[in-house]
Structure 1
Amino acid sequence: MITCRTAKQCGQADFGWLQARYTFSFGHYFDPKLMGYASLRVLNQEVLAPGASFQPRTYPNVDILNLILQGEAEYRDSDGNTLRATTGDVLLLATQSGLSYSEQNISNVTPLTRMQLWLEACPERGNDRVQRLNLSSHPHSLLASPDGAQGSLQLRQEIWIHHLDLAAGEQQTLILNGERAYLQSIHGTAKVNGEQHSSQNLTCGDGAFICDEKHLTIQAETPLRALLIDL
């Protein structure tokens, strides 16, 4: 099954200092049918105004993956650790019980645009509290995995996160490890085909729930950036 969820169907927020689109229930946006998908709890696309910040808060036991699309962010925790991430960085924070975390757009000119995922962590697993990598220019790269394969970030869960950066007309076929997956278009239009079901078309900001597919072929109809989250 491949089921499209368009950008217009997602939750929306515009607080002036923050503009956001929520795939699943988050903050003021609540849908009891969309509390997450398998171990993927949050998938937000957010823009913070210059100088804006999220105040310190605690989190459940999750790995938080931030993909910086534009701008520069500073992250702090209540232990006094500080880390900056800029355009093209992928940052993984393994939240810890008792710690609070904050985030700030440190530019007074440029908005901070990023995608944020919360991935439910297995309590029996451990990983580094902070990990980062810089996106490559390859058409396909593995961003995160359970064992840190191919230099990817290591997760506390059986999840594989792929990044696609395709020119118009290019395609990639990926093998799925889990029974479910979620495909998110960052920008661009694509045709998505599975072995068992007819194709779906995604455009900028759209996503797709994928179930019971072993292979997924993604063909870019325009220049495309996308995330495939293999659950």
Structure 2
Amino acid sequence: MKTVLHKSNTRGKAEYGWLNSNHSFSFANYYDPERMNFGALRVLNDDIVAPGMGFKKHPHDNMEIISIPLEGDLEHKDSMGNTTVIKQGDIQVMSAGTGIFHSERNKNRDRDVKFLQIWIVPNKRDVEPRYDQITLNSKNLQNQLYQILSPNTEDSGVWIHQDAWFYIGELEMGNIQNYTLKDPKNGVYIFILDGDLTIENQDLHKRDGFGLWETDRIKIKADSDSKILLMEVPMTS
């Protein structure tokens, strides 16, 4: 088994007044040649956007983009004609494919919006752009790893153009989960949304990231009430 540990305080930082962002991997003005990606996982940004502010219309292409709101309401508009609001408990996905424009704005005037923006390198280029979003049932997350993303349209959650699987779990103190990889050639990157965990003898805390590969099973133990995001991705992108 190989591992890589990204402590929360080692992430790249961007502060623009209206936006505070922590980058687990190289992004924009943050560059670290040792932290370009984890396999097909290219971007993991932990963003806080001030009330009423946001990202103006900008382009993307040939990337699978997943947004996971943690607090507040995020308004989305795109060149496909979608105007939606995503909030805590929602999962949003866009296949940028041949090219899209979109904007994101804090819908609220009285509180921050906090969300994760994740980019996955696709296994198909120049696909037709698409958009989807779902709302999770919080009961499905309790003391289990609940699938929120896969490559399969018939599975629970959203789907993307990549052999990747995402799970969210809200684990009570003492709960143990054993995760078996879909493909032993893949790796798993776990992001601690809240709490304290031990994963394969590594102590982890809020906003730490931990990657594991060259293994087929991972043991996760909650040392306090915790919430995690688990991402299984190909290690070649």
TM-score by length of 2: 0.90
1:143 corresponds to 2:148: yes
Task: Give the Å deviation of 1:211.
Answer: 1.2
1:41 corresponds to 2:42: yes
Whole-angstrom distance in 1 between the partners of 2:99 and 2:63? 13
Question: Aligned letter for 2:104?
Answer: E
1:87 corresponds to 2:88: yes
Whole-angstrom distance in 2 between the partners of 1:131 and 1:92? 5
Uncovered stretches (5+) of structure 1, i.e. residues with no partner? 194-198
1:110 corresponds to 2:115: no
Alignment of 1:65-84 (within 5 A): 65-84=66-85
Task: Give the Å deviation of 1:59.
Answer: 1.3
- Evaluate the alpha carbon distance shift between residue 127 and residue 225 of structure 1 in structure 2; reply closer, same or farther with a 3 A threshold: farther
1:222 corresponds to 2:224: yes
Task: Give the Å deviation of 1:125.
Answer: 8.9
1:134 corresponds to 2:139: no
Whole-angstrom distance in 2 between the partners of 1:147 and 1:160? 9
Whole-angstrom distance in 1 between the partners of 2:36 and 2:232? 18
Q: What do you get for the CA RMSD once the two structures are aligned?
A: 1.7
8 Å contact from structure 2 (residues 80, 100) kept in 1: yes
Whole-angstrom distance in 2 between the partners of 1:128 and 1:225? 31
Whole-angstrom distance in 2 between the partners of 1:50 and 1:176? 40
Q: Give the length in aligned residue pairs.
A: 226
Whole-angstrom distance in 2 between the partners of 1:222 and 1:135? 23
Structure 2 match to 1:196: none
* Corresponding residue SS for 2:98: coil
Whole-angstrom distance in 1 between the partners of 2:194 and 2:33? 28
Structure 1 match to 2:197: 190
Structure 1, 76-85 or 27-36: larger mean CA deviation = 76-85
Deviations 1:56-89 (A, max 9, x none): 1111311111111111111111243211111211
Whole-angstrom distance in 1 between the partners of 2:128 and 2:173? 37
Question: Aligned letter for 2:222?
Answer: A
Whole-angstrom distance in 2 between the partners of 1:145 and 1:214? 18
Alignment of 1:116-127 (within 5 A): 116-123=117-124
Structure 2 match to 1:53: 54
Structure 1, 144-153 or 22-31: larger mean CA deviation = 144-153
Question: Aligned letter for 2:34?
Answer: K
Structure 2 match to 1:212: 214
Uncovered stretches (5+) of structure 2, i.e. residues with no partner? none
Question: Aligned letter for 2:203?
Answer: N
Task: Give the Å deviation of 1:3.
Answer: 2.5
* Corresponding residue SS for 1:115: strand
Question: Aligned letter for 1:170?
Answer: N
8 Å contact from structure 1 (residues 4, 202) kept in 2: no
